[in-house]
């Protein structure tokens, strides 16, 4: 590796790039991280995960959403919530995360280069320095592509960033609308639809599919569907959008959305969220012997190697599940493999968190998957309203479901909807990773009052079902 400038060169400073760079540096390898934007952190920190989750938390607090079950539907912390109220908290968290990330890279000896990278050949990259006219050519023994994604934009749609916009534009909004159409009911679309709905904005969610989030347990999705409608959201499934136009309405513009079925939706603003495209367009992949798919994504093997063995890819640029948590792990595993360091992970037990309102999280298999695989399973359920902690925090809609093997009693999956679902899921994940059985949840004493008690209640419910 001495013939190269770097042992590992990482392109992109999102979760996958950060973790890969730090892991390489900890192995005492010459490591550089190239980031084309002025700030590090990628989409996760600047326009995606961190902003959207902070925005969600600000909305839940200021709107009084969590306590409406106790104090009534009219309860609110602040009456006229503005976009400035929401961005105040969001900008603070973003600045903090950028500072933490930069410090981690610095103290681990990772060289951060502010430039746009393009392949010259499989081991060589041309770096066009951002803010300068100069260029620099570097070589690396191993390269990790972790450039993330960009919101997919249809060229026929008149995006203006204010009336018709994508999730990447939300932090630039100048005004909150009274009505909003969300096109696309994937994770991002569902999260933002429920966030805006919690503010009292009348939201219409449109999608081609027949149901929300097809990869999530059907019962959990049904609960989400119900609570979205209870929040005055209109859900239009099996509907294709044939056109979007901005129309004048006495000086107050409106967005008119034409559906293939002949229907029309009119709203103050429209969020276009039909997926994301890998940000690989300027990498000159052909020079490295690589080719992205139609959505700009790269194909990798179980070690996150592309078709060119010393070039790795990780994070959103390789597609599903496109979560910050999984991207971090992918980056670490790629760096370890590049330098022959043994590292283990259990992708089958990666937890999934969907920050809708209410929150969803799961680990393992769902009922549909187990049924299709002919696995003899049983389930146990607990409702938050049965648990003292659920009453204390005012969450009467939450639910935890455990799936386990009827014969071996081994846990097969845990599915949660409700407050702190993405935290609570880790108990089930830990039990499953150790090959635990439903009996663990029956015999374990959980703190009282806590939502963790749902595991014991659900376990008793499941065991009782075995005996009829």
> Along the 468 residues of the chain, how does pLDDT read in single tens digits?
568 999 999 999 999 999 999 999 999 999 999 999 888 888 777 777 888 999 999 999 999 988 887 888 888 888 889 999 998 888 989 899 999 999 999 999 999 999 999 999 999 999 998 776 689 999 999 999 999 999 889 999 999 999 999 999 998 999 999 999 999 999 999 999 999 999 999 999 999 999 999 999 999 999 999 999 999 999 999 999 999 999 987 778 999 999 999 999 999 999 999 989 999 999 999 999 999 999 999 999 999 999 999 999 999 999 988 888 999 999 999 999 999 999 988 888 999 999 999 999 999 999 999 999 999 999 999 999 999 999 999 998 999 999 999 999 999 999 999 999 999 999 999 999 999 999 999 999 999 999 999 999 999 999 999 987
Q: How far apart are CA 134 and CA 414, in angstroms?
A: 53
What pLDDT was estimated at residue 322? 87
Cβ-count burial of 441 within 10 angstroms (0-12 exposed, 13-18 middle, 19+ buried)?
Answer: buried
Q: Which of 24, 228, 9, 193 is nearest to 108 (CA)?
A: 24
Q: Which listed CATH number (2.102.10.10, 3.40.640.10, 3.20.20.120, 3.30.390.30) goes with 358-467? A: 3.30.390.30
User: Structure tokens of 443?
Assistant: 């015999």
For 6-151+277-348, which CATH superfamily applies?
FAD/NAD(P)-binding domain (3.50.50.60)
User: Structure tokens of 233?
Assistant: 């959201």
Helices (H), 339-418: 367-372, 388-393
What pLDDT was estimated at residue 348? 86
User: Structure tokens of 63?
Assistant: 């709107």
Neighbouring C-alpha atoms within 13 Å toward the C-beta of 100: 9
CA distances to 319, 348, 366, 404 from 377, rounded to whole Å, are: 30, 18, 10, 5
DSSP classification of residue 110: P
Q: Is the pTM of this model over 0.75?
A: yes
Question: Which residues are within 8 A (CB) of 242 and not within 5 positions of it... i.e. 6 or more apart?
Answer: 258, 259, 260
Q: How far apart are CA 12 and CA 18, in angstroms?
A: 8
CA 342 to mean position of chain CA atoms? 28
Query: Beta strands 6-11 and 135-145: pairing type?
Result: parallel
Q: How far apart are CA 467 and CA 447, in angstroms?
A: 28
Q: How far apart are CA 207 and CA 236, in angstroms?
A: 6
Task: Say whether the peptide bond before residue 116 is cis (omega within 30 degrees of 0).
Answer: no
User: Structure tokens of 272?
Assistant: 């276009």
CATH node for 164-274:
3.50.50.60
Q: How far apart are CA 177 and CA 198, in angstroms?
A: 13
Q: How far apart are CA 145 and CA 128, in angstroms?
A: 17
Give the E-state strand segments of 310-431 in sequence order.
311-313, 352-354, 360-364, 377-383, 399-405, 411-417
Cβ neighbours, 10 Å, residue 377: 19
Q: Is 85 left (phi over 0), alpha (psi -120 to 50) or beta?
A: alpha
Q: Which of 276, 282, 328 is nearest to 36 (CA)?
A: 282
Angle between helices 187-198 and 218-230 (to 10 degrees): 30
Q: Which of 96, 70, 407, 120 is nearest to 288 (CA)?
A: 120
Token pair 């769902």: residue: 366
Domain ranges in the chain are: 6-151+277-348, 164-274, 358-467
Q: How far apart are CA 161 and CA 170, in angstroms?
A: 8
Token pair 């681990």: residue: 108
Question: In degrees rounded to 5, what are phi and psi of residue 355?
Answer: -95, 55
What pLDDT was estimated at residue 463? 96
User: Structure tokens of 366?
Assistant: 């769902």
What pLDDT was estimated at residue 449? 97
User: Structure tokens of 34?
Assistant: 């190239």
Cβ neighbours, 10 Å, residue 311: 25
Q: How far apart are CA 87 and CA 92, in angstroms?
A: 8
CA 302 to mean position of chain CA atoms? 21
Strand partners, 173: none
What pLDDT was estimated at residue 10? 98
Same CATH fold assignment for domains 6-151+277-348 and 164-274: yes
């Amino acid at each position: 590796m001495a013939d190269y400038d770097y042992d590992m060169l990482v392109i992109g400073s999102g979760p996958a790039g950060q973790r890969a760079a730090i892991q390489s540096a900890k192995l005492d390898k010459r490591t550089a991280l190239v980031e084309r934007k002025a700030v590090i952190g990628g989409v996760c920190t600047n326009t995606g995960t961190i902003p959207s989750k902070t925005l969600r938390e600000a909305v839940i607090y200021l709107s009084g959403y969590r306590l409406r079950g106790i104090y009534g539907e009219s309860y609110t912390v602040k009456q006229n919530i503005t976009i400035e109220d929401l961005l105040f908290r969001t900008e603070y968290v973003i600045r903090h995360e950028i500072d933490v990330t930069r410090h981690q890279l610095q103290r681990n000896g990772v060289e951060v280069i502010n430039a746009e990278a393009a392949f010259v050949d499989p081991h060589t990259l041309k770096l066009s320095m951002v803010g300068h006219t100069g260029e620099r050519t570097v070589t690396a023994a191993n390269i990790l592509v972790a450039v993330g994604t960009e919101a997919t934009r249809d060229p026929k749609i008149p995006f203006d960033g204010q009336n018709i916009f994508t999730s990447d534009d939300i932090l630039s909004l100048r005004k909150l609308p009274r009505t909003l159409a969300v096109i696309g009911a994937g994770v991002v679309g569902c999260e933002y639809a429920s966030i805006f709905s919690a503010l009292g904005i009348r939201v219409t969610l449109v999608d081609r599919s027949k149901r929300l989030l097809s990869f999530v347990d059907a019962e959990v999705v049904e609960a989400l569907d119900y609570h979205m409608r209870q929040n005055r959201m209109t859900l239009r499934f099996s509907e294709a959008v044939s056109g979007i136009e901005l129309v004048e309405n006495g000086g107050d513009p409106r967005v008119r959305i034409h559906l293939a079925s002949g229907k029309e939706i009119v709203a103050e603003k429209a969020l276009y969220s039909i997926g994301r495209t890998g940000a690989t367009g300027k990498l000159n992949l052909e020079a490295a012997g690589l080719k992205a798919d139609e959505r700009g994504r790269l194909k990798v093997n179980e070690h996150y190697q592309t078709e060119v063995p010393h070039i790795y890819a990780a994070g959103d640029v390789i597609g599903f599940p496109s979560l910050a948590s999984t991207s971090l792990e992918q980056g670490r595993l790629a760096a370890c493999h590049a330098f022959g360091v043994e590292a283990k992970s259990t992708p089958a037990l990666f937890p999934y968190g969907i920050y809708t309102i209410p929150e969803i999280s799961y680990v393992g298999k769902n009922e549909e998957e187990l049924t299709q695989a002919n696995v003899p399973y049983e389930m146990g359920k607990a409702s938050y309203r049965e648990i003292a902690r659920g009453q204390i925090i005012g969450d009467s809609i939450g639910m935890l479901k455990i799936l386990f093997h009827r014969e071996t009693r081994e846990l097969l999956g845990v599915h949660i909807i409700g407050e702190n679902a993405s935290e609570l899921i880790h108990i089930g994940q830990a039990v499953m990773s150790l090959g635990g059985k439903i009996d663990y949840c029956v015999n374990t004493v959980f703190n009282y009052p806590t939502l963790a008690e749902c595991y014991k209640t659900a376990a008793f419910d499941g065991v009782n079902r075995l005996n009829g």
